[in-house]
Structure 1
Amino acid sequence: MVLLSLAASHHDLDLDVLERLSSDVQAVASELVGSVASVSGAVVLATCNRFELYLEVDDAAHTPQARAAAADAVAGRSGYTAAQVGTHLRVRAGTDAAEHLFSVASGLDSMVVGEREIAGQVRRALTTARRDRTTTSGLESLFQAASRVSRQVESRTGLGATGRSVVGVALDIAEQHLPDWSSVRCVLIGTGSYAGASLAALKARGAADIRVFSASGRAGAFAAARGVRSLPASADLAAEVSDVDLVIACSGAAGAVLGVDALAEARAASSHELTVVDLALRHDVDPGVRALPGVRLVSLHTVSEHAPAEHAAVRAAHDVVTAAAEAYEADRRVRDWNPAVVAERTRVLGGLESGLSALSERDERAERALRRRTRAALHGPTVRAREAARLGDAATYAEALAELASIPVPALVADAR
């Protein structure tokens, strides 16, 4: 079994490219598991600044086939060719794949280093794979370990405890052009996890005049549960935002819900300054609004440019992640290589007990001595085989396994007669 990671992020690609790669992502996982014999499991992690596929492949020899199938599946939905997709996705396997996911889950690979939102997104990716029946025990183990490492990073380094996030950095940028938060009038577009985080951040800063809009019709229940007002799904959004101070858009709708022409018309007679924060990967707000008089746009690109730099806690976090990835891979090798060791031990110990039970005359003292000698003979090569598995030392493992295989059960049983 091989764990394979195919990943693209804001580090290497434009966000528009990531948006296209992320089209219909869950169908990609189901297609790969359902149609590619060598792929037993798939988990997709798609956020505002990354697209990643984690695959369980039955054998290292089949990884090229799995990579090609993944590129084809993504190409069929993104509009790119399979060759283009292949150039966009960075491939990692084994320890490298585990270390990358652990780093992602800990916020070390994010636009805002140390942000905590990604930890929840990693958990939800696994939950979705469970729902779609595309996960496996190996992927379960990997993603659960990633969540544990994320918590370890926070507890040992303090990274993430300050609440740094994409939302937080975006609001830090926006507030430079806003009145006091207690008098800010805001329209929040969306009802998903980012909308929830944005609303909580707005309240924490003292904003109270917040209205929620969703074209899906979910704004009423979302707003009522959080003590704010909602706008009807039929509302003229451009008109509603024409005289507010701040718009935060994070609905993830297919296409802009606030266009340039509609906003320009609604603001034709207004000199009121408007700050728009667009946190949607697919652009809830047409980027062209930044050209309108009195309108400032804060996008994910803006957040990336203003994200805090690394510091000592980040370096310490990387050390935690590296050690955890090495330990995870060592434990995985022990699990994968141990069945052959168990089989040889079962052969010897099972054969010994069968042979002793068939004796017509039994000497308990001799039997106890024989069992001790047998276990002593098994102990050394068993320990060496498992330690070699932990270290990835295939040659020493093979030697220890051969030593176990050379222990002859018939000769041991004969000693008891």
Structure 2
Amino acid sequence: MPHAHGMPTAQLLCVGLSHRTAPVELRERLSCLAHEPEALLAERPPALQELLVLSTCNRLELYASHPGGTDTDPREMLAALRRLMARRTGVPEAEFADHLYCHTGLQVAEHLFRVAAGLDSLVLGESQILGQITQTYNAAAQTPLVGPVLHTLFRAAIRTGKRARTETAIGTNPASISSVAIALAEKRLGDLRSRHVAVVGLGEMGRLATKGLAARQLSRVTLLNRTVARAQQAAAQQPGWEAGSLADLPQMLASADVVVSATATPAPIITAEMVHQAMAQRPERPLLLLDLAVPRDVEPTVALLPQVFLYDVDDLMGSLDAALSARRQEVPRVEAIIGQEMAALELAMRELAMRPVVVDLRQKAEAIRQAELARALRHLGDVDPAVVEQLHHFSRALVNKLLHEPTVRLKEQAQNGQAEVYASTVRDLFGLTEPGTGEAESAQPGAAR
């Protein structure tokens, strides 16, 4: 996919919405856009040369590139992306237009780099988004929808995200109530993989807790929920996990090492009497209760019982505030990395802008080499195959040596910001047609552009 005019970074587009701009109900309705790459390929507007859809539970974004040039209006390209979203999802554009953000040029790269680094996440610095970007890119890279511009952009974004997490502490401290709770359990009890953990309630907080436990590869986990089917569905996703109802709570208190409770009940569901009876069955084994609910799920007097350790939201908030504060202190370092990677991306894109010229120049030289060698062989008559092979080797080496220095110089000038001027000059000097306008492309139909 050649880019004839201007810098490839100027040809970048992004249209999207996220947890910051749109409610979850709208994000859910639009999420189907990511599941139909074949349909996207068929319906991609012709002016959009490359297209990639990034879809997570918190965002939906379309990244694209267009051919550039003075006759290309980025606003029309963004409008084409919005129309594509409406057409593919069945959601009228009027229902999501006010929730969209639109970026062009280098703004696209800066936005994606911030997303990959975790600066735009619901939880500052979380690492899951980097894995989602990597997975999305790897899948899209196998389709014709992604070409050299988006390849270069997403590889740089993934590198930025990795650097942010290896060179700073943006993701080292737990930064949600549930992650703080699990970290506290590990601090008190050590490796939780040998422990029995119960999660009571599968609302948002409970689901976050189960994600944290799954990430640690725990196998002895029991999920209790008012709706048993929901607990069974969640438990079925992890090997060894079990499910039950809230009626199983007394039995669970007697067997579990850690109980994470996060229901939405108006009154405590774990009483002092209930815990007292459970502890009578396990007098020497401590019980860690992590109450993430508001109102509280556990009666405060439970903390007075021997071998029982109770922490509620207020206890955990202090650790959460400290964790988020530590992460926020890392933001300037992450932004410095983003700045470095932005500069590197500009250099890579400048070189990319020169690539079609270099490819066309070498293709024309190769076509001339083959034609002239064929003519010479016709005049020579019957030539030994070994000699023919040597002539091929000689002519290829000669062309490569003649073009090596111009190729290096062209790339150097691209780095100096002279890509467009030199590309035009080379095309004029060597009679190379602009990509998409003539025989330069048709001469080698199978060549990668």
Compute the TM-score of the two structures, normalised by the length of structure 2: 0.58
Quickly say closer, same or farther: Cα 1:65–1:96, change in 2 above 3 A: same
Equivalent residue number for residue 113 of structure 2 = 102
Q: Within the alignment, does 1:405 sit opposite 2:431 as a pair?
A: yes
- Residue 199 of structure 2 is matched in structure 1 by 186
Whole-angstrom CA distance in 2 between matches of 1:237 and 1:267 = 14
Q: Which residue matches 2:162?
A: 151
Compared CA separation, residues 230 and 110, structure 1 to 2 (3 A): same
Residue 102 (structure 2) aligns with: 91
Q: Report the Cα offset of residue 69 of structure 1.
A: 3.8
- Quote the offset at 1:201 in angstroms: 7.1
| Match among 312, 322, 334 for residue 314 of structure 1 | 334
- Out of 212, 237, 241, the residue aligned to residue 198 of structure 1 is 212
Structure 1 residues without counterparts, runs of 5 or longer: 249-257, 278-288, 363-367, 407-417
Amino acid at match of 1:109: D
Choose from 129, 136, 140 the match for 2:146.
136
Q: Does 1:43 align with 2:91?
A: no
Query: How many residues matched?
Result: 359
What's the secondary structure of 2:23's corresponding residue?
helix
C-alpha contact 2:17 2:61 (8 A) present in aligned 1: yes
Compute the displacement of 1:394 (Å): 0.6
CA deviation after TM superposition for structure 1 residue 220, in Å = 3.7
Counterpart position of 2:29: 23
Structure 1 residue aligned with 2:4: none
Query: 1:72, 1:82 within 8 Å by CA — same for their partners in 2?
Result: yes
Aligned partner of 1:387 in structure 2 is 412
Letter in structure 2 aligned against 1:25: S
How far does residue 348 in structure 1 lie from its aligned partner after superposition? 4.4
2:353 is aligned with 1:333: yes
- In 2, Cα distance between the equivalents of 1:388 and 1:127? 32
Change over 3 Å in CA distance of 1:36–1:370 after alignment to 2: closer
Deviations 1:356-379 (A, max 9, x none): 4455699xxxxx999999777655
8 Å CA contact 2:270–2:297 kept in 1: the answer is no
TM-score by length of 1: 0.61
Give % identity: 22
Decide whether the 8 Å contact of 1:20 with 1:78 is kept in 2: no
Give distance in 2, aligned partners of 1:374 and 1:341.
11
- Looking at structure 1, the residues matched to 207 and 376 of structure 2 have their Cα atoms a distance apart, in angstroms, of 65
> How far off is 1:104 after superposition?
2.1
Aligned-pair CA distance for 1:24: 4.1
Q: Which amino acid aligns with 2:53?
A: V
2:223 pairs, out of 177, 197, 211, with 211
Who wins on radius of gyration, i.e. which is larger? Answer: 2
Alignment map for 1:9-408 (pairs within 5 Å)? 9-10=18-19, 13-14=20-21, 16-17=22-23, 19-27=25-33, 30=36, 31-38=39-46, 39=48, 42-57=51-66, 61=72, 64-75=75-86, 82-83=93-94, 85-126=96-137, 129=140, 135-138=145-148, 139=150, 142-155=153-166, 157-160=167-170, 163-164=172-173, 168-171=175-178, 186-187=199-200, 189=202, 197-199=211-213, 211=223, 215=230, 217-225=232-240, 229-232=241-244, 235=245, 246-247=260-261, 263-264=265-266, 275-276=291-292, 306=324, 308-311=327-330, 313-357=333-377, 378=403, 381-390=406-415, 391=417, 393-405=419-431
Query: Contact conserved, 1:42 with 1:135, CA < 8 A, in 2?
Result: yes
Separation in 2, partners of 1:345, 1:17:
57
By how many angstroms is 1:76 displaced? 6.6
Cα pair 2:30 2:91 within 8 Å, conserved: no
Q: Are the equivalent residues in 2 in contact too, given 1:212–1:231 (CA < 8 A)?
A: yes
Equivalence for 1:409:
none
- 1:4 alignment partner, SS class: strand
Change (3 A) 1:356 1:222: same
Deviation, 1:153, is 3.9
Return closer, same or farther for 1:120/1:349 CA change in 2, 3 Å cut-off.
Answer: same
Give the distance between the partners of 1:128 and 1:193, measured in 2 at CA.
27
Distance 2:247 2:347 in 1: 52
CA distance in structure 2 between the partners assigned to 1:374 and 1:268 by the alignment: 81
| Mapped partners of 2:60, 2:419: distance in 1 | 34
**Mean CA deviation greater in 73-82 or 384-393:** 73-82
Q: 1:73 to 1:399 in 2, by over 3 A?
A: closer
